[in-house]
Amino acid sequence: MLDENTKKFLIKIFEEKLKDNITLLLYKGRETNKFVNIVEDLLKELSNLSPKISYKEIDNRMANLLKLRLSPSILFEKKKNIIYYGIPSGYEFRVFVDTLIDVSMNATELPLNIAKEVAKIRENINILTFVTPNCPYCPMAARSSFKFAIINDKIRSEVVEASEFQEFSMNFNVFAVPKTVVFINGEKVKEHNGMVNEFMLMKIIKDALEVYNGNL
């Protein structure tokens, strides 16, 4: 799946940057689909590139406890609030690798003022981000969401590969990507269509909190 140049690059970057061991969790789902084997093959390849990376499958019971929406799902054992649904390919592959490194380091790069605001959030925030592999604006949206979830465990970040899950995406009226949907304490509060960076995502969440608290 990964070409030799990519493997060499990843071996080097994993040797340099991985700190703690990382266990990736794979949920295959109750019914096999054509994406499951591809995702499992990718996780196998990644685990072969560094002794610090491993993966294991989780069962339906655990998936229910984690309230997983779709399969295949990829999570991090030490950060189960970060979820990728589908194949992290194209532009999204770098997002996945960078997030893997962040989780291993238990740190991520955010402007200090944004990081402080994210850390202060006390409500249960769920960010659902719809992406596609060939969208050049999607990685920023997905990466920002994952960074927020690394900073604050109250934030659950779910990234959906929209073209793989078309029916689910249409339930949220996804006609273009990226699309960001914010839930607060399980209630859908705000949607945003188009590009999102860290500053914009913070504003979207702030606006959602204002709406949720009845101030807008």
Cβ(130)–Cβ(168) below 8 Å = no
pTM: 0.95
b/e sequence 109-120, b meaning 16+ C-beta within 10 Å: ebeeebbebbee
Phi and psi, residue 2, nearest 5°:
-90, 135
Cβ(110)–Cβ(118) below 8 Å = yes
Question: Encoding tokens for residue 27?
Answer: 């949920």
pLDDT per residue over 91-148, tens digit each? 999 999 999 999 999 999 999 999 999 999 999 999 999 999 999 999 999 999 999 9
pLDDT per residue over 18-63, tens digit each? 999 999 999 999 877 789 999 999 999 999 999 999 999 999 999 9
